[in-house]
Amino acid sequence: MKSHTAEQGDAAVAVPDLVAAAEQALPQQANALARARAFAEPLIAGETLETGENTLAHADAVAHILKSMGGSEAMQAASYLVYACAHLNKPEEVIAKAFGESYAALAVETNKLVRVQQQARGGDALGDDARVQTENVRKMLLAFSRDLRVVMLRLASRLQTLRYYAATKQVVQPAVAREALNVFAPLANRLGIWQVKWEMEDLAFRFLEPETYKRVARWLDEKRVEREQYVEQLRSDLEADLRAQGIHAQVHGRPKHIYSIVKKMRGKSLDFEQVLDVRALRVIVPDVRDCYGALAWVHAHFSPLLEEFDDYIAKPKPNGYQSLHTIVRDAGGRPIEIQIRTQAMHEHAEHGVAAHWAYKEAGHKGYAGVSASTVYDTKIAVLRQLLAWERDLADSAEGLFEDRIYVLTPQASIVELPRGATPVDFAYTVHTNLGHRCRGARVDGAMVPLNTPLKNGQTVEIVAAKEGGPSRDWLNEHLGFLASHRARAKVRAWFNEQVRHETVARGREMVERLLQREGKTAIKLEDLASQLGFKSAEDLFAVVGKEEFSLRNIEVLLHPRAELPTEDEAVLAKKYKPVQAKSPKGGVLVVGVDSLMTQLARCCKPAPPDTISGFVTRGKGVSIHRNDCANFREIAHRNPERVITVTWGVPKGEGGAVYPVDVSIEASDRQGLLRDISEVFAKEKMNVIGVQTQSVKGTAWMTFTVEIADSHKLGKVLAVVRDVPGVQSARRR
């Protein structure tokens, strides 16, 4: 026998033949369930699951359970296709070809979830490894929301696994039993699939507490004959009496489930004999009027315990369950639980909303006489129950699910958000562009402010402009528009892109104006950028627009060594070649001391103790650059013979010199910002000789020119500037 983890290569090779064989043996219009079994059988008949159960036998049983639950043919067929996926190289593509996209999506989505649960199986459900279990439940919820039929498949598969363990008397992993009891059974309860809930609870409880299970089973069995005889007589009499009153009722004895008895005994500290609803009847009548008519007759002929009466018809349970529940005592004082409901209520109670879960095949037109609006309403109802199930788990395992919420889109999809999220967070999670254009929101149909915190299970609809961008207010943490770090990053990125766009436009204008002045408009801008070492023209415009790249570099490129050296250049070049040095430092020009003309480059504005170099210009003496200056590296690469060594010095007769440097500051614009930053420089005794400011959509861009004697001190002053409220960055240019 192959195991489930066996090599899949041989099977994968045979897939095209399998598809062809299945299509030939069972034409497209034939029964899809039989076709799916014929397709999967060669792949899975010889393998076993990790439980030891034969995979094909498991799929047969799951299909049967799904049929009894009211599941569609697609769900039943998927029980085979899910396990075939593991043997296919491209399962979605292959299954879609043979059965259609709906079958393929269902099989693949369920297969993914099976693998998730297998990986998480190591920790007890809601037990030892809370983090792993939380992630497991999260993935289950999101998988269920993408295709609700996956819920049915997983419930049926888990129920069959429990049945197999019970039939073979195997030892069950506690994690499997706990997950069934604490996760899957509450899910079936929330969806109103009672037959699955009760059986799953009893089987899981039997594995987890075998002694208690046996003891209660023995109590029930000891009086089983007497109880069944009594219930049968009571059932027959009640049915006849109601019919005599003109109420055409079907009365059935209702088996009591062991786990529910134990829960009631423990919850109310009762002995077995005190459990009131061990004897139970269910009355099925044609319509709601007959429900209340039957209730009136029962209360008139028995002694009702009014504190135990519940009207779930007038006030249905959240999962849509409807019925009248009452407990009465007979003449001997024995308690009897009686449930009264219509046939439609009974079918919903037994199968939940399973009958409407063929929505994937329904599309927008509905199916089998069920309108599309009914399908949509049913899907919304199921999604709300899935969210309620997740909240139930959160309540039973405090702290596990406190960090997130789930809300619904108008198209009935689940969106996961951090707790405290707003409609703006929701919009950015759905789509970045929707977030940018968000202008209003409806929550459960009512307009709300955009900074309204959302709650679990709400339906959110965004009102969006055709075009536009986010508000700067959204980044103000005090206003509470954004709780998601991801959404906040998207808003910042939008504003940064706007600033870059304007910078690029400004740089383009400067470059094009220079080219017009030089009569070089025929030059392709992309070629120009490439020659200057940039990847694109836009990159060139960006640095020019920020004044980080001098237009002088473009002029040098446009006129490469066209002229002969001037007389001054010849003298400088000759005098400052290192091998012919005659300066006071042996060929090293001392800035501020040497008699020859030097100038500090405006592109990088060096100051002591920056590492510097000199460049012999045409007619303007020696230009002093920082060694890390991009402009200097460019011109030095083209004209290495013009580079000379220079160093800092103190001019004679002075105690020291000061040097102008530029400081770039980016900040959130506000009143008093310029004053606060200027005060920092004043307190640090730095003379400000120039200020340029520009505000773009709430962001202030400032350039301060300050005089310094030592650039080391500037670093300390910039650290103080960064602490000014609103300042995002402060750096030397």
**pLDDT, tens only, 445-480:** 899 999 999 988 788 999 999 888 999 899 998 899
What is the per-residue pLDDT for 610? 83
Is pLDDT at 172 greater than 50 in this prediction? yes
- What's the topology of domain 404-483? Ubiquitin-like (UB roll) (3.10.20)
Query: Global pTM?
Result: 0.55
Angle value at C-alpha 542, between 539 and 548, nearest 5 degrees: 110
Phi and psi torsions of 409, nearest 5°: -85, 165
**pLDDT, tens only, 286-304:** 999 999 999 999 999 999 9
Provide mean pLDDT across the span 323-346. Answer: 89
What is the per-residue pLDDT for 11? 35
| Banded pLDDT at 373 (limits 50, 70, 90) | low
Is pLDDT at 728 greater than 80 in this prediction? yes
> What residues does 417 pair with on adjacent strands?
405
Based on its alpha-carbon atoms, the radius of gyration of the chain, rounded to whole angstroms, reads 40
> What residues does 367 pair with on adjacent strands?
370
The three-state (H, E, C) secondary structure of 548-588, written as one string: CCCHHHHHHHHCCCCCCCCHHHHHHHHHCCHHHCCCCCCCC
**pLDDT, tens only, 97-153:** 888 888 888 888 888 877 766 665 544 444 445 556 666 677 777 777 777 778 888
CATH of 2-193, one of 1.10.3210.10, 3.40.190.10, 3.10.110.10, 1.10.8.100: 1.10.3210.10
Comparison of pLDDT for 585 and 252, the residue scoring more: 252
| Banded pLDDT at 3 (limits 50, 70, 90) | very low
Distance CA 715, CA 732 (A): 8
Comparison of pLDDT for 396 and 458, the residue scoring more: 458
Provide mean pLDDT across the span 552-580. Answer: 53
Distance CA 616, CA 640 (A): 10
What is the per-residue pLDDT for 375? 55
Distance CA 504, CA 545 (A): 6
User: What residue type is 276 in one-letter code?
Assistant: L
CATH class of 219-351: alpha beta
SS3 455: coil
Is pLDDT at 10 greater than 50 in this prediction? no
CATH class of 659-732: alpha beta
β-pairing verdict for 2-3 and 47-48: parallel
Is pLDDT at 419 greater than 90 in this prediction? no
Of 97, 101, 42, 103, which is closest to residue 73 (Cα–Cα)?
103
| Banded pLDDT at 315 (limits 50, 70, 90) | very high
What is the per-residue pLDDT for 653? 45
The helices-and-strands tally (H runs, E runs) of the chain is: 29, 23
Distance CA 187, CA 202 (A): 15
| Banded pLDDT at 359 (limits 50, 70, 90) | very low
Distance CA 189, CA 393 (A): 13
Provide mean pLDDT across the span 650-663. Answer: 67
Distance CA 622, CA 661 (A): 19
Contact 176, 121 (CB under 8 A): yes
Comparison of pLDDT for 380 and 194, the residue scoring more: 194
Percent of the chain with pLDDT over 70: 79
Look up residue 499 and give its two tokens: 């600033």
**If you ran DSSP here, which 8-state letter would residue 26 be given?**
S
What is the per-residue pLDDT for 443? 93
Comparison of pLDDT for 3 and 599, the residue scoring more: 599
Of 2-6, 401-405, 694-698, least confident by mean pLDDT is 2-6
- Parse the chain into domains and list their residue ranges: 2-193, 219-351, 404-483, 659-732
**pLDDT, tens only, 593-645:** 444 567 788 778 888 888 888 888 776 678 888 888 888 888 888 888 888 88
Contact 372, 364 (CB under 8 A): yes
SS3 253: strand
Contact 283, 341 (CB under 8 A): yes
What is the per-residue pLDDT for 583? 37
How many Cβ atoms are within 10 Å of 402's Cβ, its own excluded?
10
Q: Give yes or no on whether 219-351 and 404-483 have one common fold.
A: no
Percent of the chain with pLDDT over 90: 21
Look up residue 532 and give its two tokens: 């200057």
Distance CA 173, CA 208 (A): 9
Helices 15-25, 32-44: crossing angle, 10 deg rounding = 150
Distance CA 264, CA 533 (A): 79
| Banded pLDDT at 360 (limits 50, 70, 90) | very low
Residue 552, CB-side half-sphere exposure with 13 Å CA sphere:
14
Tell me the average pLDDT of the chain.
Answer: 78
Contacts for 600 with CB less than 8 Å, ≥ 6 apart: 606, 623, 624, 659, 660
Provide the strand spans (E) within 83-197: none
Q: What is the DSSP string of 164-203?
A: HHHHHTPPPPHHHHHHIIIIIHHHHHHTT-HHHHHHHHHH
Contact 664, 702 (CB under 8 A): yes
Comparison of pLDDT for 28 and 105, the residue scoring more: 105
Contacts for 698 with CB less than 8 Å, ≥ 6 apart: 472, 495, 668, 669
